Amino acid sequence: MANNSQSNKYLIFLELLFYAALPYVIWKFGREPFGDYAAMLLSTVPGIIYTVYRFAKDRQFNVTGLFILGSMLIGTAVDLLSGSAEQMIWNNVYLGLFYTLLYVILFIVKQPFPLYIAVDFAYLQGHARKESKALFFQKGIFRWFQLIQVVFIIRGLVMAGITVFLLRKYGIDSYGDMLIYKRITSWVFSGILMGMFFYINVVVQNYMNRLHENNLQKLQEPEIVAE
């Protein structure tokens, strides 16, 4: 437990460093020599490097990993094509809302993205993807993945709302504050989502235990022979 706690603290420190602290420093001290747009582009580099590092280290060549890599490449392309610092922020808002819309569509068609994250995680633990997917689509389990999908949607709307509020009220100068506020908000939602994923694990275990007990009971029932 102590090692896990230290590992989690280390990961939090790395996220704070690469997604908030370093981008903030680059933005703060790079605006004057490079201009707003160039400084903003440079501020995304630490996060990109860290994301690629985590992707390579964890070897997430699955739905989750491909989504992370794909969204990073799309985000980088959008940043490079924005043309100005303010437009870059707005484009990221639009991109975030686009992902949120995708989550809404997946919710409506009952293909929640968190379910496929769980399938990937189960696969890393040695469980077949097909079996895990069939298990997670069971009625008593599936609704929890839909609920997590709702949290994904709320998170997307909240993150976009923070950005739009700060940008409209304080302009481009609020970019540094956006980095901090959005990282803190991201941690809050990450904590909620992590707790929900842990709870789903309990739900799955209870379901498997009930299934095992029912099968055991059937085996123990005496066979009725017709006279």
Question: pLDDT per residue over 10-20, tens digit each?
Answer: 766 777 788 87
pLDDT reported for residue 7: 63
- Whether residue 186 has pLDDT greater than 50: yes
C-alpha to C-alpha distance for 125 and 135, rounded to whole angstroms: 15
To 5 degrees, how large is the angle CA 164–CA 147–CA 125? 110
- Whether residue 62 has pLDDT greater than 80: no
pLDDT reported for residue 226: 44
Q: What percent of the chain has pLDDT over 90?
A: 31
Q: What average pLDDT does this structure show over 28-50?
A: 84
Residue 122's alpha-carbon distances to 100, 136, 208, in angstroms, are: 25, 11, 14
Task: Note whether 110 and 139 are within 8 A (CB).
Answer: no
C-alpha to C-alpha distance for 170 and 75, rounded to whole angstroms: 24
Q: What average pLDDT does this structure show over 75-99?
A: 91
DSSP 222: P
pLDDT reported for residue 113: 93
Give the other-Cβ count within 10 Å of 23's Cβ: 25
Q: Which residue has the higher pLDDT, 67 or 168?
A: 168
Task: Note whether 63 and 118 are within 8 A (CB).
Answer: no
CB-based burial label for 213 (10 Å; 0-12, 13-18, 19+): exposed
User: Which position has the token pair 């609920």?
Assistant: 147
**CA torsion, points 219, 220, 221, 227, in degrees to nearest 10?**
90
Of 55-69, 102-116, 168-182, the range with the lowest mean pLDDT is 55-69
Of 44-48, 58-62, 142-146, the range with the lowest mean pLDDT is 58-62
- In sequence order, the 6+-apart residues with CB closer than 8 A to the CB of 157 are 97, 100
Task: Note whether 98 and 157 are within 8 A (CB).
Answer: no
C-alpha to C-alpha distance for 173 and 167, rounded to whole angstroms: 8
Tokens of 32: 């004057």
Q: What percent of the chain has pLDDT over 70?
A: 85
Q: What average pLDDT does this structure show over 40-53?
A: 83
pLDDT reported for residue 219: 53
- Average pLDDT over the chain, rounded to an integer: 83
